[in-house]
């Protein structure tokens, strides 16, 4: 295909807005947690749209949802696109779902243009990408790529003690096809940037070259519970003040890794807390990120050293346990080049960028050649009900996805083939 293909921008936008009504929140966002009733209804709508586009659909053992457009060589490994339909508890209208519906719009555009492909094209909507209900994040793609055993995933529980296996049955999302051992020719994922860089630089497209390294830690601080009114400050072993010192010392220690090194404490909890009792047991999470694995190693050492020093100074005990790790992941040079070439041919302003967030594409990149397309999000907001994207950017990202995938899949005009 020498001519540039174009998606139907208003149709894609309408699909995004229709999907956003499922699980819509009063604040203008979306709550569609993995394998809930809202997620089930979102999946059903997507399946209906796929069938209307002439695709076949199925789910695998961990609930990953797939749709397929046949290729001339239907035994060939498919060129795959995708992302996820689940959201954060107070999520937005574009995170994840944009990649799924942009992929659907690619298929619709190929149908409209009467374009065939040598290789089949598939869309994957991955289970529990957000990690908001079940841990870890990107669970469905982890099982698909062999990064997590199926049995381990099925045994994961949510805050109410419901296992993933039980949730799959309750939402009628469990399929019979094997979740592992599936060959994929290449994988492309479109996504909002979830940060402010593209918007700040005035660029429409981010050509993603890979994902940065991420490590999650659980920190448990143990002191001694005592009466708030009768225990002088110098006699206290206060887990809360100890954790506060660890937090501030960590922020100072990691300043030397700026601007690429990132540290976030996203959750904290006092066990058996009471207003007039000194905190004895406190836990908090730490999220460390850096594009370089060696730098992340150093950040982890600083985390452990800071926590241990603060605990010693205050007579506390502390444990730092790694909960999850994702190494820095470069994307396939040829797939990245296809994205960049499509972007240039379409005339969009762009820059190369490393993904700061985790995505299913990170798992897929260790399984098959992979690339991502980023578009700006307004004010860099994501994981927020106010998350937004401009229709022109939504269209641009899908156009890049369409032309990159068409090139990889061997697209040609069906009418020309029979002329």
For 46-97, the pLDDT digits (tens) are 999 999 999 999 999 999 999 999 999 999 999 999 999 999 999 999 999 9
Is 185 inside a domain boundary? yes
Do 345 and 311 lie in one domain? The reply is no
The answer to whether 162 and 146 have CB atoms below 8 angstroms apart is no
Q: What tokens were used for 317?
A: 């005990």
- Asked if residue 4 belongs to a domain, the reply is no
Q: In the chain, what percentage of residues exceed pLDDT 90?
A: 95
Out of 300, 326, 352, a domain closes at 326
Q: Do 137 and 143 meet the contact criterion of CB atoms below 8 Å apart?
A: no
pLDDT in tens, 303-345: 999 999 999 999 999 999 999 888 999 999 999 999 999 999 9
User: How far is Cα 164 from Cα 304, in angstroms, rounded to an integer?
Assistant: 32
What average pLDDT does the structure give for the chain?
96
Q: Are residues 18 and 140 in the same domain?
A: yes
pLDDT tens, position by position, 6-42? 999 999 999 999 999 999 999 999 999 999 999 999 9
CA atoms within 13 A on the CB side of 392: 5
Average confidence (pLDDT) over 100-117: 98
116 shares its domain with 63: yes
The answer to whether residues 139 and 86 touch, using CB atoms and an 8 Å cutoff, is no
When pLDDT is averaged across residues 247-273 and rounded to a whole number, the result is: 96
Instruction: Give the residue among 411, 400, 415 at the shortest CA–CA distance from 9.
Output: 400
Same domain, 254 and 121: no
Domain count, the chain: 2
List 217's β-bridge partners, or say none: 286, 322
Residues 366, 280 share a domain: no
Contacts of residue 68, Cβ cutoff 8 Å, sequence gap at least 6: 55, 56, 57, 78, 120, 121, 122, 123
Cα 234 from chain centroid (whole Å):
46
Mark which of 308, 326, 344 sits at the end of a domain.
326
Pairwise CA distance, residues 147 & 138, whole Å: 10
Domain endpoint, select from 326, 347, 379: 326
Claim to verify: residue 250 and residue 318 sit in the same structural domain:
yes
pLDDT band at 418 (very low <50, low <70, confident <90, very high): very low
Q: Which domain holds residue 32?
A: 9-212+328-417
Q: Does residue 3 lie within any of the structural domains?
A: no
CATH number at residue 130: 3.40.630.10
Assign residue 313 the CATH number of its domain: 3.30.70.360
Residue 247 lies in a domain: yes
Is 355 among the domain residues?
yes
Q: Are residues 194 and 103 in the same domain?
A: yes
Mean pLDDT of 232-242: 98
* Any domain includes 121: yes
Residue range 136-163: average pLDDT? 97
**In the predicted model, what is the mean pLDDT of residues 132-161?**
96
1 lies in some domain: no
In whole angstroms, give the CA distance from residue 184 to residue 305: 43
Cα gap 312→246, rounded to integer Å:
11
pLDDT of residue 415: 61
Residue 419 has a pLDDT of 39
Does one domain contain both 160 and 286? no
Say yes or no: 195 and 207 in one domain: yes
In the three-class reduction of DSSP (H, G, I as helix; E, B as strand; rest coil), residue 65 is classed as: strand
- Looking at the structure, do residues 102 and 167 belong to the same domain, yes or no? yes
Asked if 294 and 317 sit in the same domain, the reply is yes
Q: Which pLDDT belongs to residue 326? A: 84
Is residue 70 located within the same domain as residue 81? yes
Beta strands (DSSP E) in 257-358 are: 262-264, 268-270, 281-290, 317-326, 329-330, 350-355
Which tens digits make up the pLDDT trace of 154-209? 999 999 999 999 999 999 999 999 999 999 999 999 999 999 999 999 999 999 99
Look at residue 150 and tell me if it is in a domain: yes
Residue 394 has pLDDT above 70, yes or no: yes
């Amino acid at each position: 295909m020498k001519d540039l293909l174009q998606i139907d921008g208003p149709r894609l936008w309408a699909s995004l807005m229709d999907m956003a009504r499922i699980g819509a929140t009063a604040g203008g966002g979306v709550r569609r947690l993995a394998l809930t009733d809202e997620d089930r209804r979102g999946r059903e709508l997507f399946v209906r749209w796929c069938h209307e586009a002439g695709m076949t659909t199925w789910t695998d053992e961990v609930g990953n949802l797939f749709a397929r457009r046949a290729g001339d060589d239907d035994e060939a490994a498919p060129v795959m696109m995708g992302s996820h339909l689940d959201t954060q508890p107070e999520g937005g209208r574009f995170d994840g779902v944009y990649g799924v519906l942009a992929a659907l719009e690619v298929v619709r555009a190929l149908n409209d243009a009467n374009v065939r492909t040598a290789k089949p094209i598939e869309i994957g909507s991955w289970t529990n990408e957000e990690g908001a209900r079940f841990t870890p994040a990107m669970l469905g793609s982890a099982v698909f790529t062999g990064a997590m055993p199926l049995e381990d995933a099925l045994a994961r529980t949510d805050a109410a003690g419901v296992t993933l296996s039980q949730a799959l049955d309750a939402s009628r999302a469990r399929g019979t096809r094997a979740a592992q051992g599936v060959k994929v020719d290449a994988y492309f994922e479109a996504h909002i940037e979830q940060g402010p860089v593209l918007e700040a630089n005035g660029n429409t497209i981010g050509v993603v070259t890979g994902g940065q390294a991420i490590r999650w830690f659980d920190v448990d601080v143990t002191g001694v519970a005592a009466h708030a009114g009768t225990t002088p400050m110098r006699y206290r072993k206060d887990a809360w003040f100890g954790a506060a010192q660890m937090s501030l010392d960590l922020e100072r220690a990691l300043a030397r890794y700026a601007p690429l090194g990132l540290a976030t404490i996203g959750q904290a909890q006092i066990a058996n807390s009471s207003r007039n009792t000194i905190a004895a047991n406190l836990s908090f999470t730490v999220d460390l990120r850096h594009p370089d694995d060696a730098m992340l190693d150093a950040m982890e050492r600083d985390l452990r050293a800071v926590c241990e020093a603060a605990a010693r100074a205050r007579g506390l005990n502390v444990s730092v346990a790694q909960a999850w790790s994702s190494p820095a992941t470069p994307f396939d040079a040829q797939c990245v080049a296809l994205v960049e070439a499509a972007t240039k041919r379409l005339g969009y302003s762009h820059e190369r960028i490393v993904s700061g967030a985790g995505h299913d594409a990170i798992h897929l990149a260790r399984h098959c050649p992979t690339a991502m397309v980023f578009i700006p999000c307004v004010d860099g907001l994501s994981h927020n009900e106010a998350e937004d994207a401009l229709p022109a950017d939504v269209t641009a990202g899908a156009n890049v996805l369409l032309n990159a995938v068409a090139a990889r899949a061997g697209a040609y005009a069906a009418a020309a083939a029979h002329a």
